[in-house]
Amino acid sequence: MEAPSRSPQVQDVIPVRRGEAFDVEAVARVLRGRLDGSEAPLHVEQFGGGHANLTYLLRFGEGPDANEYVLRRPPVGPVAPGSHDMVREYRALASLWRGFPLAPRALVLCEDVSVIGVPFFVMERRRGVVVRGAVPEIFGGGRDVAANRKLSEVVVDTLAQFHAVDPEPLGLGAMGRPDGFLERQVTGWAGRFERAKTSDDPVAEEIVRWLIQHRPVSPAPTPLHNDWRLDNMAVAQDDPGRCVAVYDWDMFTLGDPLADLGTLLALWSDPGEGPPTMNPMPTQSPGFLTRAQAIARYGEGTGRDVSGVPYYLVFGTFKMGVVLQQIYFRYQRGQTQDARFAALEEAARTLFRLAAERRP
């Protein structure tokens, strides 16, 4: 969810939020001589979207000749083991761009926690439009049926394109354990929920039992993004049907491709449905594919059997609830000061109820 457009139609960067600043001079020293233009003074702003990893715009110099990059770091405060892994994201993006050009290229990794307190990396800046809760006016503000259709198609088609990437020639074949992937995912996310609970939730506990009892046989493994959705990609300013970048790769691995599809579909509501809370996709806009149409399009684009996708829809919905619960857990303990997070416990409960309703 980084590096969207700086066009006047889409305001993407903000002053660095309170509690999320870092030592700019220390970062400048680490990067000096390792990036084009890094001898110039460094100015930092923050990308305001997203709820987990923190993303910043680095600008060396001023005016049209300034060199811009993007810095990624974990959220403030303790995080779940194995999550928000900047080293993993760097390793993926240092190579993935060669086989999947929509992945920004990672340029510098800093594992020295004395610099800003956590590992971070810097990647190239990609320019495009990130579509979050509503279609921006640059694409008709939700009134342009053709533009809406393109947005719904591009997020599905780009996922199919990514799942066709062969990780072996890219040196990424060891970045996952496909055998037993889905079983580990279900038990792992159940454990994350238990560790992040701030109160009992019988609905979520029932969903965990259902997921364990009904786990299907996975198809052949592919590379996985693990958080695929419209607001984790950018599209061209002049064409909502052309993806220019995909972001948020800290959970890259190899495993069951339908898990990615389930994540995408989890926040995809059809016309007439109550939209899921924290919906980052304007899926009820006229012209947008329905959930069933999105599933069919992915199946046609990949040749995969999609009859078992309802299970992954439930799992994806549960995962989104756990993500929000984890963020709320940090907020409740004062580990982040972002006021947007105050309502996330109820948002997580809404997603758990929705997961229960979506069981086939």
Structural domains in the chain (count)? 2
If asked whether residues 157 and 288 sit together in one domain, one would say: yes
CB 67 within 8 A of CB 122: no
- Rounded to whole angstroms, the Cα distance separating 132 from 138 reads 13
Cα distances (Å, whole numbers) of residue 94 to 29, 100, 105, 233, 249 = 22, 11, 6, 18, 11
pLDDT at 313: 97
Which of 91, 124, 157 is the C-terminal boundary of a domain? 124
Please report whether residue 319 resides in a domain.
yes
**How many CB atoms are closer than 10 A to CB 269?**
20
pLDDT at 204: 96
Residue 8: pLDDT band by 50, 70, 90 thresholds? very low
Residue 78: pLDDT band by 50, 70, 90 thresholds? low
**Cβ contacts of residue 250 below 8 Å, gap of 6+?**
53, 72, 83, 84, 85, 86, 88, 89
Stated as kind and residue range, the H or E segment containing 236 is strand 233-236
pLDDT at 77: 65
Please report whether residue 1 resides in a domain.
no
pLDDT at 163: 98
Which one, of 10, 69, 72, lies nearest residue 43 by Cα?
Answer: 69
Residue 337: pLDDT band by 50, 70, 90 thresholds? low
If asked whether residues 87 and 48 sit together in one domain, one would say: yes
Query: Residue 241: is its pLDDT beyond 70?
Result: yes
If asked whether residues 56 and 174 sit together in one domain, one would say: no
CATH of residue 118's domain is 3.30.200.20
- Rounded to whole angstroms, the Cα distance separating 353 from 201 reads 10
If asked whether residues 344 and 286 sit together in one domain, one would say: yes
pLDDT at 6: 34
Could you tell me the pTM of the whole model? Answer: 0.89
- Rounded to whole angstroms, the Cα distance separating 312 from 258 reads 7
Please report whether residue 136 resides in a domain.
no
Q: Which domain holds residue 70?
A: 13-124
If asked whether residues 120 and 209 sit together in one domain, one would say: no
CATH of residue 218's domain is 3.90.1200.10
If asked whether residues 200 and 342 sit together in one domain, one would say: yes
